[in-house]
Amino acid sequence: MKLRALLILLLLLLALPVQAQAPITIGPAVTPAPAAASPTPAAPFNITIGLNGAPAEQGNVSTAIQIVFVMTLLSLAPAIMMLMTSFTRIVIVLGFLRTALGVQSAPSNQIIIGMSIFLTMFIMAPIGDRINAEAIQPYMAKQLTLEEALDKGSAPLRKFMQKQTRPSEIDFFLGISGRGPTKVDQIPMTVVIPAFVVSELRTAFQMGFLIFIPFLVIDFVVASTLMSMGMMMMPPVMISLPFKLLLFVLVDGWHLVVRSLVESFGL
């Protein structure tokens, strides 16, 4: 019985079609309707980045030169920040203050640099607003050419540096460059910038000397007291440091130093 059932199963499997056949129709042939045309695929979205864009307008330099100029400004941004603003004077004075107090790591270099940067932003904010209103915005609105924007943008910064620079320093660099007497508004930036840097260094060292005086007096008093008591082996710095910190806190030293720095720029 098992053998008979197995043979019947094999016959049934062989009777199944191997693949589906097309149906056979009797009558006139019917032409199938053409399939609907598939929509044309959209063109791919391409982005082209290059320097050969729209032609430069009359009076403006090409795009390639503008990009090179902007990259040069970005590379010189730290030097501009340090040497053409109030940053130099502030960071030097704060460094002298830390040395006069006798503490080597409080406040740290990061705090001094950060404080100098934000004080510089506060002092230079009006000048930045003028540069933005007189040069950057008109240039972006295509009301000025690049050369005109540079002239108008450098004017407020030039005025600030000349105001903080001693006339003797400007005369010194004018003499070195071989220029004769020059009007104030015609002094080139190549003369104004080094004169401003030297003048700022001189002013910062003068302010640092004035900061040192009260702390030196405390050191002298403590050293004389220890000498009179016969405590010659005791380092005077260990005794004078708490008194210097106490004096600095009682007179609100940070307020006095920051106010003197800000007012020294005529604000």
Average of per-residue pLDDT values in the chain: 76
pLDDT tens, position by position, 62-86: 567 767 767 777 777 777 778 888 8
Mean pLDDT for 160-168 is 89
Dihedral-angle region of residue 55 (phi above 0 means left; psi in -120 to 50 means alpha; beta otherwise): beta
Residue 81: per-residue pLDDT? 76
CA 72/CA 200 separation, integer angstroms = 25
Mean pLDDT for 249-254 is 88
Q: Is the pLDDT of residue 58 over 70?
A: no
Dihedral-angle region of residue 56 (phi above 0 means left; psi in -120 to 50 means alpha; beta otherwise): beta
Mean pLDDT for 39-44 is 52
pLDDT tens, position by position, 181-204: 777 777 888 888 899 999 999 999
Phi and psi (nearest 5°) for 34? -65, 145
Contact present, 107 and 91 (Cβ < 8 Å)? no
